[in-house]
Chain A
């Protein structure tokens, strides 16, 4: 089982619709979770971080976390063509011993917003 799993897509949504991106993770000790947007040829850009169960909203973006189900999602409201990109889910596990931490990335979901 992969540590962080995402549907590779592409996920196609019409402009103005809600895009829903999903991610599951295997390590129950995972403590914080991130969504990144990556345009082709560019480095990943942090969109959202979440570490408590429930919803976190920032503008058009809402991250949802359910630790019991080991599931994290990203909703993009009023999707725009400029939102077309690959969205990476990332999970941070922090090891107290030696202060070591590691972020593991999913393979990404390609989102296409159709004008």
Chain B
């Protein structure tokens, strides 16, 4: 299975600022997925990022708030923009295949103060 390097692992940010999270995969993948996991809760899909096309956002998530870049088949970034304390969460990227499962990065623990 693919190995994902995600950074930063954690950050504390001021409200109103933005944070960009990076994921680097050790192999080429068509789709990358971005999730949010709020404290004590399960994972919620934010968006699916395909190389060379606009990301597909899930209900409740918009591009202006969570812009995604996918410049090549091994790399993607998620930006959390104009942050508020409600954005405090763990953000995870994921890659994989439909029948065989998906691998996650180590996560970014974001605290907005």
List residues of chain A with CB under 8 Å of any chain B CB: 31-32, 34, 42-46, 49, 51, 88, 90, 92, 94, 99-108
Binds A, one of B12-20, B63-71, B72-80, B99-107: B99-107
Inter-chain contact total with CB atoms closer than 8 Å: 53
Q: List 10 A-B pairs, minimum CB-CB distance, nearest first.
A: A49-B101, A43-B104, A46-B101, A105-B43, A107-B42, A105-B42, A43-B107, A34-B101, A32-B99, A94-B98
Known: A101-B31, A103-B33, A108-B42. A46 touches B102 (CB 8 A): yes
Question: With A43-B107, A101-B31, A107-B41 in contact, do A92 and B48 touch (Cβ < 8 Å)?
Answer: no
Kindly report which residue of chain B lies nearest to residue A94, judged by CB atoms: B98
A53–B44 alpha-carbon span in the complex (Å): 27
Which chain B residue lies CB-closest to A48? B101
Across the interface, name the chain A residue whose C-beta is closest to B102: A103
Q: A94-B98, A103-B33 are in contact. Are A44 and B48 (CB under 8 A)?
A: no
State A44–B92 Cα separation when bound (angstroms): 10
Number of interface residues of B (CB under 8 A): 25
Q: Which A residues touch B106, using CB under 8 A? A: 42-43
Check A44 against B104 for contact (C-beta < 8 Å). Answer: yes
Question: Is there contact, CB below 8 Å, between A104 and B45?
Answer: yes
* Whole-angstrom CA separation of A32 from B48 in the bound complex: 18
The answer, yes or no, to whether B28 is at the interface (CB within 8 Å) is no
B48 cross-chain contacts in A, Cβ below 8 A: 100-102
B82 contacts A by Cβ under 8 Å: no
Enumerate 26 A-B pairs (CB-CB under 8 Å) in ascending A order: A31-B98, A31-B99, A32-B98, A32-B99, A42-B106, A42-B107, A43-B107, A46-B1, A46-B101, A46-B103, A88-B43, A92-B98, A99-B30, A99-B31, A100-B48, A100-B56, A101-B31, A102-B45, A102-B48, A103-B33, A103-B94, A105-B42, A105-B43, A105-B44, A106-B42, A108-B42
Q: Which of B86-100 contact A (CB under 8 A)?
A: 92, 94, 96, 98-100
Contact indicator per residue, chain B 25-62, by CB within 8 Å of chain A (1) or not (0): 00000110100000001111100100000001010000
